[in-house]
Amino acid sequence: MIAWACVFVAAGVVGAVVLLVMGWGGRLTALQRAGLCAFAAGLAWAGPARALGRPLGLGDLLMIVGVAVYLGAVYGRALMTHADKLDGTEDGKVDLRKVIR
């Protein structure tokens, strides 16, 4: 019974990603679309293997890479700006040696 619930949830997630990529969720960059598509493909590829109790595989890696690409596309610039400000000056260089001391 739980396996069928997981199938329905995964189908809903993949359906939501398809709608987002088609443009129903607003404007997305190409990198955001690629990350969402990689996540959905990884979920669809890894789902049956998880249900059958198989070990981790390429589908799991693709899903994690898709999430990382999407989050990097959305929050990457803000994270780099914040990391640049950690040393006290915003000069375009991330220098963590001043922060660690």
* Tens digit of each residue's pLDDT (9 = 90 or more) over 4-63: 888 898 899 999 999 988 888 788 899 999 999 999 999 999 988 888 889 999 999 999
List b or e across 81-100, with b for residues whose CB sees 16 or more CB atoms inside 10 angstroms. Answer: eeeeeeeeeeeeeeeeeeee
Structure confidence at residue 6 (pLDDT): 80
Q: Give the pLDDT band of residue 86 (cuts 50, 70, 90).
A: confident
pTM of the model: 0.77
Asked if pLDDT for residue 101 goes beyond 70, the answer is no
H helices of the chain, in order, are: 2-22, 30-51, 58-85, 97-100
Burial class (CB in 10 A: 0-12, 13-18, 19+), 43: buried
Q: What pLDDT is attached to residue 100?
A: 65
Spell out the domain ranges in the chain: 2-100
